[in-house]
Structures are given as structure tokens and as C-alpha cells.
Chain A
Amino acid sequence: MKPQMAVDLNGVAFPLPVLAASGCLGREPGLVDLHRLGGVVTRSLTLGPTKGAPTPRMAETASGLLTWVGLQNPGVEAFLAEDLPRFQRAAVPVVASVAGTTLEEYIRVAGRLQANPGIVALEVYLGATDEERGRGEPFVARLDRIHEVVGAVSRLSHLPVFVKLPALNPDLVEAVRTCVRAGAHGVTLVDGLPGLAVSAAHLRPKLATPVGALSGPAIKPVALAAVFQVAQALPDLPIMGVGGISSGGDAVEFLLAGAWAVQVGTAMLVNPAAPVQIAQGILAYLKDKGVASPADLRGRLRLRLPTEAEGVR
């Protein structure tokens, strides 16, 4: 029996369970084979072009990558005119990442993304600075603002809305429940963790911001825990797992922990073929274990010691 690789996130279908994570595919596909991706999450889009943060924007840390690009993107209009047609030609499902610094910006970006063939869902990014209410905090720092933004986008959107959340929210499950109450279709867990890299030789932080978002294998256990906790609390909620996935084995761990699909980010920057190889790795695992589909891995994590009869497979 050949396992079925397609996944259905309560109505959002992807041909493969592996998507390119937000911001990790350039505007040009380069060496990435779009035809062999489960889907593409776009770079977060703002209403107009955004120049982003000053440099240096990145530093390599132990098993991780610290970055703060500051939402550099061409704006939603340029995305629709220049980038979306490439994805449409490749027939790859697009999840459009929505960002903003005001509630109105989220609404206008999300509105502009409606009714474009190829876009199958929105992903709301809440890490940008809230310029209306915040004292420099991002939207995600306040449950009321999460509710307002996700609620406004969900109400206007004909497309299912996913919300990307960081793991360090004081109460992640409560934040996810807030998103669901506001109308979210699912969540993407997790956004990069806040991190600081210091150059002692120069007495300076390595990033200009100076705090960045940590990604890569360093955050994988944190991401897995977030996926697991939310999946335990809300088993019917579609979760896309992301954070340090660089092999088929990593992806299987996320599916077992409760993810419905996975996204690959940092690994793509090192190995443009990573999503394809990860999908192959998942397929090999499914075949090996005689499991029919990635969805059948969900909830298969044994939370007690196996009995003798079950063996330790």
C-alpha cells in the first residue's frame, strides 16, 4: 500500500504535508522546485513596500540562526502583480502571510488578498510592532490585540485564517483559544524565539535591532512542545508545525506531536531541496510503519510506557 501524502487541514488541502515557511523563499524561486512543495507561505506582506531593519540582520548561533529582517517586502500589490503569477504557474498552493503595524493595515492587506486564484489561506503574523496601542510591543504581546486583529481579518476573509504564534506567550493555549474564538481556522506554531547574540570583542550586539528571532534546530524542542500542548488542548484545531525541521525524521516528530502539516524555514536557506527531501523522509517513514497518511500519525504519540504486548516498536 502506498501511503497517501496529501493532507487536509479541515478544508485547506495541500498535496504534500511540507510547506515552505514564511520568508524563506525569495521572490525568485532560485533552486527551489516549486512543483514539489506542499505549499508556499509568503514573506509577510504589508500594504506598501517596507524597507525593513538596518543591517546586520543576521548572526549564526549554536545550531540556530538569529535574524531580524523587519518585514522587508515589496508590499501586497507588488506581490500580487509580480510574485503570485509564478506560484500560480507552478500550481503550488499559496498561504499569504499578512502583517501590519495598525489594525487597519491588517484589514486592508487581508482584503486585497481575497479572491486571487492560488491563495488557499492566510497566515496572520503578529510579531510586528503595534503602533496604535503598544509602547513598542508587538500585537502578539496582548490577548486583546490578538483578538482584535484575528477577529477583523477572519470576519472579512473568505479564506481560512491561520495565526502564527511564538512559543513564549505567557499562556500559549490561552492565546490559541483567543484566536479560535476570534474566528481563526488554525495556527502555525511556532514563530522564532526572541534571541540576542553578542560580540564581546566589539562590545556590541551582533544584530542592529538588537534582538532577533531565533530559528533552526536550536528551537525544535520548544516548537514541538508548543505543538504538543496545543494539540492536547484543542485536538480538532489544524496546526502547522514549524521550527528547526531539517529532516524527514524531524517532520515526523512534529506530526506525532500533533501537527497536521509542517513548514520548513531555515533548512531551506542551507539546502534548497530540503522540503522535497523532508517529504520523501516522511513517505519512507509511513511506508516503514505501514501508516496510510500523515494525518494518521497525529495522536499516535504514546504517552505511557508500552505494555509488553505492544512491544517497543
Chain B
Amino acid sequence: MKRVKAEILNTRKLGAYHSLTLVAPEVAERARPGQFVSVAMPEDRSFLLRRHFSIHQASRRGGWAGTLEFVFDPRGAGTHWLAEVKAHQFLDVIGPLGKAFAYPNKLTNCLLVGEGHGAATILFLAQELRARGKRVDMLLGGTDLDHVFKPIEGKRLSQTIAVATEDGTMGEEGSVVDLLPEMVASSGTQVVYAAGRRSTLRGVAELCNERHLPSQMAVEEQMACGMGQCYTCVVPVIRKDGSGYDNLRACTDGPVFNPARILWDRWMGQEPELVPTPPEGFPVVRTWPG
């Protein structure tokens, strides 16, 4: 990982999303799909923490060499500030961070599922898989038409593509999970990659489990530092030898995990019950069994 002062080359609005392209050769040349960058917020504001964005595009060659693009949905104070930055301003950027998607050696038919801005990382992955001669099929989704990220780019990169929106304004009405069984059957899927909301990822993971499909998913978890220091972004992941689980950091041990090893119930907060906080003193820590 490198920390750089990166000049903004270009800002664009893509549906509901904003895209920023930065000049950051030291980061771009190392970046792989699934990895992310962290961007510092301006000083002397009430929002302190760096913001984290998965990398949508990292160009190593050609006219855009050394550039890096990321995408966000302006929702909070930090992303609203970022939506207002202009070309030629500089950002304090750290990256690339996290573990990238792994590419299959022998298997060829890859199904890529991207929901919301999760599609940004999925489209980057699609390019890299295509460059390795893999077949790419794609499922894109979002709440509505504006939240389906770059469907035309998705179509260009894939053999077949299907789109689902919650309100039916584009493609099928519903979730990408609903389209999954048919897509797996029609495209002869051997490997599944996904990025999106936790509940969607879980739906995809369950199908992969049922069909014994190897898969990898880029997760999102509330993250303070992005560099492995704070231990806030952990995901409960079963050990390889099955002897229990560890809370692994999404920022350094992830964000790409094998979903078959994620303890979904625990991660989705369905157990155990919260311990009430006493009126005096400090919050209660419970060491979790397991």
C-alpha cells in the first residue's frame, strides 16, 4: 500500500453514482479487482475518518495509464463533500488496500453478480477475467434504473447479461438472487463472483452452497481505518481446518472472502442477544464463546 497525493483528473455523474478518476500511478499499477482505496476527508470538519471505495478501474497502459477510478453514491457528509470536488484538486489517497479476487486456473465459465455500486468492482473483475480468456456472464441489480451501474459496459464485457431492479424500472422486477438459478443453468456457470448488499450476498452464497459452486465475494462492513489498525470491520470466518472461527478484518484479510466460510447468522447479527448496558460505568464486554 502507498500513500499518495493524487490529482483528480475527472469527475462524472453516472446515474445515481459519482465517479472520480485520479492520477495515482503508484496505486494504479498494483491495483487488482476487489481491492479498495481510502481517501482522507478535509481537515477541520466534523467528519474525520477516511472513506473507502472499491476500485472500479486501474489503467496500467494506454492514454489513461497511471489512473484510477472509483465510484460512490453520495449519502453521508463525506461522500457529499467528495461529490463536490473538482478536477485538478488533490486527494490524500492510500491504496491499494485489501485482498483481491483470485482468478480460476482451470474453470472457465464465470458468473459475476454486481448489485448497486458493487457492480463497479465487478466490471473491473470482468475485464481481468476476459483478459485471461474466461467466459463472463453477468447479473446486475439495484433499487431502480439509476442504481444499476453501467449496464451497457456490463453487456459489452459479458456473453450474456440479466438485470434486476426492485421497482422493475430496468430488467426484471426483484433481486439478482431471483435471476440466479436460471442464469447459472443457461450459462453453464462454474465459478461465481459477487459484490453487493449483505442480504444479497447471503442469497448468492446459499445457492452456490447448494450447487457446490466455488465462489468469492467482496463484502462491506463498517470500517474506521481501512489499514488493519482498528479491528472494527471484522467478519466471522470459519477456519480452514474447521476448528472454530476467527473475526477477520474485512480491510486486510478481506474484503474478498469465500462465502462458504462466512458464519452468516453471526455476521447478520442474528445471535446472540445483546447484553443490556448497566446505567453506571462502561459498556459491557462479553467474550464470545466459540
Chain A residues within CB distance 8 Å of chain B? 23-28, 30-32, 43, 46, 50-60, 62-65, 67-72, 101, 127-129, 135-138, 140-141, 166, 194, 208-213, 216-217, 266, 268-273
Contacts of A56 in B (CB 8 A): 221-222, 232
Q: A24-B229, A138-B282, A268-B229 are known contacts. Are A59 and B287 too (CB-CB below 8 A)?
A: no
Contacts of B285 in A (CB 8 A): 53, 68, 70-71, 101, 127-129, 138, 209
22 A-B pairs within 8 Å (CB atoms) are namely: A26-B230, A26-B231, A28-B252, A30-B229, A31-B94, A54-B288, A55-B221, A55-B234, A56-B232, A62-B46, A65-B48, A65-B224, A70-B287, A72-B247, A101-B285, A128-B285, A129-B286, A140-B281, A141-B280, A194-B283, A213-B283, A266-B48
The answer to whether B171 has its CB under 8 Å from any CB of chain A is: no
Most buried by B among A23, A26, A216: A26
Q: A60-B47, A60-B48 are known contacts. Are A140 and B266 too (CB-CB below 8 A)?
A: no
Q: A30-B227, A52-B231, A211-B277 are known contacts. Are A63 and B282 too (CB-CB below 8 A)?
A: no
Identify which of A58, A138, A217 contacts B281 (C-beta below 8 A).
A138
Q: Is the CB of B283 within 8 A of A212?
A: yes
Binary contact track B226-270/A, C-beta < 8 Å → 1, others 0: 011111111100000000011100001000000000000011010
Q: Place the interface of chain B in its size category.
A: 35 or more
State the CA gap A217–B247 with chains docked (Å): 29
The answer to whether B40 has its CB under 8 Å from any CB of chain A is: yes
Q: A23-B231, A24-B229, A270-B225 are known contacts. Are A60 and B49 too (CB-CB below 8 A)?
A: yes
Q: Is the CB of A269 within 8 A of B247?
A: no
Closest to A30 in B: B227
Identify which of B227, B235, B277 contacts A209 (C-beta below 8 A).
B277
Additional pairs, 9, CB under 8 Å, beyond known A25-B229, A51-B247:
A26-B231, A53-B286, A53-B288, A55-B221, A60-B47, A69-B230, A137-B282, A140-B281, A269-B230
Q: Is the CB of B266 within 8 A of A54?
A: yes
Q: Is the CB of A137 within 8 A of B280?
A: yes
Q: Is the CB of B277 within 8 A of A210?
A: yes
State the CA gap A209–B285 with chains docked (Å): 8
Classify the secondary structure of A's interface with B: loop
Most buried by B among A24, A54, A208, A273: A54
Most buried by A among B222, B266, B282, B290: B282
Contacts of B223 in A (CB 8 A): 58
Closest to B283 in A: A211
Most buried by A among B48, B277, B284: B48
How distant is B223 from chain A, measured CB to nearest CB, in Å? Answer: 7
Q: Is the CB of B228 within 8 A of A30?
A: yes
Contacts of A217 in B (CB 8 A): 48
State the CA gap A310–B3 with chains docked (Å): 45
How distant is B6 from chain A, measured CB to nearest CB, in Å? Answer: 15
Contacts of B185 in A (CB 8 A): none
The answer to whether B1 has its CB under 8 Å from any CB of chain A is: yes
How distant is A229 from chain B, measured CB to nearest CB, in Å? Answer: 19
The answer to whether B133 has its CB under 8 Å from any CB of chain A is: no
Identify which of B41, B49, B233, B269 contacts A208 (C-beta below 8 A).
B269
Most buried by B among A58, A62, A128: A58
Q: Is the CB of A71 within 8 A of B287?
A: yes
The answer to whether B275 has its CB under 8 Å from any CB of chain A is: yes
How distant is A70 from chain B, measured CB to nearest CB, in Å? Answer: 5
State the CA gap A272–B224 with chains docked (Å): 13
How distant is A174 from chain B, measured CB to nearest CB, in Å? Answer: 15
The answer to whether B50 has its CB under 8 Å from any CB of chain A is: yes
A-B complex: 10 closest residue pairs judged by Cβ atoms = A141-B281, A211-B283, A269-B225, A26-B228, A58-B232, A26-B229, A57-B232, A56-B222, A138-B282, A62-B46
Identify which of A135, A166, A216 contacts B282 (C-beta below 8 A).
A166
Contacts of B63 in A (CB 8 A): none
State the CA gap A64–B225 with chains docked (Å): 13
Closest to B225 in A: A269
Q: Is the CB of A57 within 8 A of B48?
A: no
State the CA gap A28–B290 with chains docked (Å): 25
The answer to whether B278 has its CB under 8 Å from any CB of chain A is: yes
Q: A30-B228, A52-B231, A268-B229 are known contacts. Are A129 and B284 too (CB-CB below 8 A)?
A: yes
How distant is B242 from chain A, measured CB to nearest CB, in Å? Answer: 16
State the CA gap A129–B276 with chains docked (Å): 13
How distant is B269 from chain A, measured CB to nearest CB, in Å? Answer: 6
How distant is B73 from chain A, measured CB to nearest CB, in Å? Answer: 16
The answer to whether B274 has its CB under 8 Å from any CB of chain A is: yes
Closest to B94 in A: A31
Contacts of A57 in B (CB 8 A): 222, 231-234
Contacts of B227 in A (CB 8 A): 26, 30-31, 269, 272
Q: A217-B48, A269-B229 are known contacts. Are A135 and B278 too (CB-CB below 8 A)?
A: yes
Closest to A101 in B: B287
Q: Is the CB of B282 within 8 A of A209?
A: no
Q: Is the CB of B247 within 8 A of A127?
A: no
Closest to B222 in A: A56
Contacts of A43 in B (CB 8 A): 231
State the CA gap A70–B286 with chains docked (Å): 7
Contacts of A52 in B (CB 8 A): 231, 234, 247, 288
